[in-house]
Amino acid sequence: MQDSRRETLFGPGVPLRGNDIDTDRIIPARFLRTVTFDGLGDHAFEDDRLQLKEQGKVHPFDDPRFADGTILFVNKNFGCGSSREHAPQAIKRWGKCITAIVGESFAEIFFGNCVSLGVPCVTVDAVSADAIQSAIEADPNVAVKLDLRGKAVHVGVNRYPVEMGEGPRQQLVEGRWDTTGELLANMPKIRETANRLKYVSGYK
């Protein structure tokens, strides 16, 4: 059985600057009609990427320097807007798979959707966020480590404290974030309990 604990996660990093990046920008509404989430990562930030390309600029998700990145670094109120689950699904499925997001703050529903996928969203202060993004922009290969137990992100030789609600953090560290997996793993106990409930057995 695959270990679902999220204790220590390693980079490289992807710096994505900007405040109030909403879920419609993360995954445009036209992609919400998909039956499964397969292939959704290819369309993450599709409109933003196209707009920057038309301006002669490069979005971080199109920048070959960050193509191997697995830890995303963002700014304030990331994931605001609609509650679409497709947004964290698209981010998680982009490239080599985004395994964690570090930012100044996150929209509440987006944060919850990420936790349910096993993707930690931890916060740092604004000064730290800028310093980390600048370090990755200067050296895309700089070593990045997110230590959920130690509540810190290490970028090169520098250590930055991170914050996360204790409940979600413990869920991730202990591997209890996958609620569906926990139900399936405890199916015998669920059946045993159900069999004792008279309204399930027809009051027999």
Count up the domains in the chain and report the number.
1
Lowest-confidence pick of 61-70, 94-103, 195-204: 195-204
Q: Is the bond leading into 12 cis (omega within 30 degrees of zero)?
A: yes
Q: How does pLDDT run across 162-191, given as a tens digit for each residue? A: 999 999 999 999 988 876 666 666 677 767
Say if 191 falls within a structural domain: no
For 44, the domain range is 8-176
> Residue 1's pLDDT band (boundaries 50, 70, 90)?
very low
Q: Which amino acid is at 118?
A: G
The answer to whether the CB of 117 falls within 8 A of the CB of 92 is yes
Say if 92 falls within a structural domain: yes
Rg (CA), the chain: 19
Q: What is the chain's length? A: 204
Q: How does pLDDT run across 28-44, given as a tens digit for each residue? A: 999 988 878 989 999 99
23 pLDDT more than 80: yes
Burial (0-12, 13-18, 19+ Cβ within 10 Å), 71: buried
Q: What is the CATH number of the domain that holds 55?
A: 3.20.19.10
Say if 202 falls within a structural domain: no
Say if 58 falls within a structural domain: yes
> Residue 92: how many CB atoms within 10 A of its CB?
22
Q: Over range 136-147, report the average pLDDT.
A: 98
Burial (0-12, 13-18, 19+ Cβ within 10 Å), 195: exposed
Say if 44 falls within a structural domain: yes
